[in-house]
Amino acid sequence: MKQQMVIGIDIGGTNTVVGLVNKDGECTENISFSTKQGNSFEDYFTIFVKNISDLITKNKDVEIIGFGIGAPNANYYTGIVENAPNLNWHGTIKLKQIVEQAFKVPTYITNDANAAAIGEMLFGGAKNMKEFVVITLGTGLGSGFVTNGNVLYGYSGFAGELGHTTVVKDGRQCGCGRKGCLETYVSATGITRTMIELLENKTVESELRNYNINEITSKHIFDAAKNGDKLAIEAFEFTGEMLGLSLANMVAITSPEAIFLFGGLAQSGDFIFKPTIKSFNENLLTCFTGTVKILESGLKGNMTAVLGSAALCWNELNK
């Protein structure tokens, strides 16, 4: 008998990663290709179909029973990707319908943060939890809210945009067109902006002064912090302070059992966790004291986004 598996797909601004995932959350094979194919969705989709068809043909002993896709601005309810920023696709793409027509299996889509939340619930650190939040710290800041065991999609399907709540009035310009959004401070790009401001406004020595300002990445800041670089540590402290305050506000509305930090910046250990937890505790409403854990994501390895997308599909098929 063929082994049943689903295909998990993470469509990012740069690359699309595809994996075969079994019901235990094991990714047995993966491929990736550039998301920036040509100038339209049609150009991209031709490559998408070719690559995935090849993967399926190669795995003859596997039965594909569904697709789960995480993509920017993907709406779970409508199956549509609407005006995705950072993608070369224009307007409204009926992604769920198009993929189902091409591959003849049930397909589910949502944004990457919601997919990460379902991945955490099925395969990660939230296996026995019904109330939790996953914060994805990548280029931006995404959030997936799970309440009573279900992802909160809201009336529009776009619920859970903690990254675009205003934390500084008239603050940093955000990609969404507004100013002072949380993700302009707390994300890989946010900490880099903070680091550049510190380098420009202070005279303290820093190994990051050896770089051209445009070359600095969050990885450089982490490496410098590990070397004891005072300014890099200060950048982490400021980032954690902003994040902890926002999480405390968020808890007043949602009261989760745990908050999972997911993504590159979340792997910076104490540099990000210590200031975040300190600021969180300082700003938390007293009745929530000791009720919320702030944890690193339980999804490990470099296929976490694919596992999240696959989990979305398994979760639907198990309903």
Instruction: Write out the residues near Zn ion by the rule CB under 5 A.
Output: 164, 174, 176, 178, 181
Q: How far is the CB of 172 from Zn ion (least distance, A)?
A: 9
Any idea which residue has 């406004």 for tokens? 201
Q: How far is the CB of 196 from Zn ion (least distance, A)?
A: 19
CA 92 to centroid of chain Cα atoms: 22
Q: How far is the CB of 183 from Zn ion (least distance, A)?
A: 6
The DSSP line for 242-298 is HHHHHHHHHHHHH--SEEEEESGGGGGTHHHHHHHHHHHHHHS-GGGTTT-EEEE-S
3-state secondary structure of 304: helix
Q: Which is nearer to Zn ion, 181 or 266 (CB)?
A: 181
Q: How far is the CB of 247 from Zn ion (least distance, A)?
A: 17
Q: Which is nearer to Zn ion, 23 or 179 (CB)?
A: 179
Angle, CA of 304, 108 and 259, to the nearest 5°: 45
Q: Residue 86 is encoded by which pair of tokens?
A: 């950072």
Burial class (CB in 10 A: 0-12, 13-18, 19+), 159: middle
Q: How far is the CB of 267 from Zn ion (least distance, A)?
A: 24
Q: Which is nearer to Zn ion, 164 or 220 (CB)?
A: 164
Q: Which is nearer to Zn ion, 136 or 304 (CB)?
A: 136
Q: Which is nearer to Zn ion, 109 or 181 (CB)?
A: 181
Angle, CA of 179, 243 and 226, to the nearest 5°: 115
H helices within 59-132, ranges in order?
95-103, 112-123
Q: Which residues pair with residue 93 across a beta bridge? A: 81
Q: Which is nearer to Zn ion, 183 or 241 (CB)?
A: 183
Which amino acid type is present at position 78? T
Q: How far is the CB of 176 from Zn ion (least distance, A)?
A: 3
Q: Which is nearer to Zn ion, 26 or 161 (CB)?
A: 161
Q: What phi-psi label fits residue 6: left (phi over 0), alpha (psi between -120 and 50 degrees) or beta? A: beta
Q: How far is the CB of 186 from Zn ion (least distance, A)?
A: 12
Do the Cβ atoms of 161 and 141 come closer than 8 Å? no
